[in-house]
Amino acid sequence: MTTRPLTQWHRLFAGLLEELLTPVNITVQTEVPLLSSPPLGDILLLRRQGEQWTEAQRARLADGLRDTQATHVLLEFKYTQSINLIAFRQAISNDHLYRQSQKLPDEAIATFLISARQPRKAMLKEFHYTATKTPGVYRSRNPLLSGILLLSLNELADTPHNAFIKIFATQEQAKERAFTILQEEYQSHQLSDPIAYYLSGLLRYWSLERGIEMSTIELTPEKIKTLGREWLEFTLKVLPPDEILSYYSLEDRLAGLRPEDRLAGLRPEDRLAGLSAEEIEAYLRKLKQQKKEKNGQGELPDAATK
């Protein structure tokens, strides 16, 4: 019996953030040194240059992340694991070790524990986490945990800047809403093709997750992107042209074409559709005048050529 490889979800999460944030000048580091020498933490680091996030960066950062003023943001992502005492111990340890190794002021570093599962109410109460005014963002009154913010992906608001990481939520409805938002973003040309490939690959994987086809595949960010590209290319091949074009506005379809190319193949009455009689008559007079001027300047009488 073939053993199914263990999916490294934090690597897939990191791969999406690299595709998403690198183009807007946010460094994503996937192997973060917690001391002056190994070991490396199983966490992600977002590093910002400058005093604050730009609007382009905020557009790709989820609630909580986009609101911090820290220049070094540590992310610990839990996909299959529940948030419990062990998770908090890891987060506190990573936060402490990173601060020691970097020798940065406290306000320069922020640590987030990101949970794909819905946090249990009993756990939130036990560790003194309460909801902030931002849905899905929790902060603790416990002094040891006050610097560790908790993000609940299932509860984040349905906005484009949250959708990028909300697709990792475990509740199907939350995941589907996030994918719908990102599909609309892609159709309006707000997302690049590499990001679309990655998102499509994740969607394809989740649709086949219980199938035999995916049972022996060890997933990496590269394989996810390849899977997404292959699936999108297959979809384009099987869809009729009219259905593909229906996703684009008329302006998008005509972009880059010369005026004469846009009218090629149309019947005369179709070319004139939408013009009033006065506009057509004015255009005809203009054409006649242009022809008369051309003939008067370009052709000489026979006597002048002798």
227: confidence class by pLDDT, cuts 50, 70, 90: confident
16: confidence class by pLDDT, cuts 50, 70, 90: confident
CB 26 within 8 A of CB 59: no
The residue ranges of every structural domain in the chain are: 9-242, 267-298
Return the closest-CA partner of residue 221 out of 44, 61, 72, 90: 44
Tell me the percentage of the chain whose pLDDT exceeds 70.
73
pLDDT at position 236 over 70: no
Distance CA(251)–CA(96), nearest Å, equals 54
Return the closest-CA partner of residue 14 out of 176, 168, 149, 118: 168
Distance CA(19)–CA(29), nearest Å, equals 12
Distance CA(108)–CA(99), nearest Å, equals 9
pTM: 0.69
Return the closest-CA partner of residue 24 out of 235, 190, 153: 190
pLDDT for the residue 181: 92
194: confidence class by pLDDT, cuts 50, 70, 90: confident
Judged by average pLDDT, the poorest of 126-130, 262-266, 277-281 is 262-266
CB 161 within 8 A of CB 66: yes
pLDDT for the residue 1: 42
pLDDT digit string, tens, across residues 46-100? 998 888 899 999 999 999 999 999 999 999 999 888 899 999 999 999 898 888 8
Highest mean pLDDT among 77-86, 228-237, 268-277: 77-86
Q: What does the mean pLDDT of the chain come to?
A: 80
pLDDT digit string, tens, across residues 279-304? 777 877 887 887 777 776 554 445 44
pLDDT at position 37 over 60: no
Q: Stretch 90-113: mean pLDDT, rounded?
A: 90
Return the closest-CA partner of residue 88 out of 63, 109, 115, 69: 115
Judged by average pLDDT, the poorest of 20-29, 151-160, 184-193 is 184-193
Tell me the percentage of the chain whose pLDDT exceeds 90.
36
38: confidence class by pLDDT, cuts 50, 70, 90: very low
- 24 Cβ contact partners less than 8 Å away, ≥ 6 residues apart: 54, 56, 57, 59, 60
